[in-house]
Amino acid sequence: VTRWNSQFLTVSKVVDIPNTLLNERTKKTELLLSTKDLAVLREFVSIVTLFAEATTRTQAEQSISISLVGPSILAI
């Protein structure tokens, strides 16, 4: 099972690549991304970023992070 955050990081990197460059490099036409596809992916990234940041803050190994759980949940 792939962790959700690695998929999130992949998608967030893909949406940073200009659509024309992505489509130029894609050999299979069924993999081409439309403007709507990219808009959906950008919206996904903007929403999931909140969860990614909260997860990063609350899984600290070297510091106490339980006090961050409540505020992180409320922020989402």
pTM exceeds 0.75, yes or no: no
Residue 1 scores a pLDDT above 60: no
DSSP label at 60? -
- Whole-number pLDDT of residue 50: 85
- Whole-number pLDDT of residue 19: 83
Domain boundaries, the chain: 4-75
Least confident piece of the model among 4-8, 36-40, 59-63: 59-63
Residue 47 scores a pLDDT above 80: yes
Residue range 23-50: average pLDDT?
87
Distances (CA, A) of 9 to 6, 32, 66, 67, 70: 5, 20, 25, 26, 24
**Cα 12 to chain center, whole Å?**
5
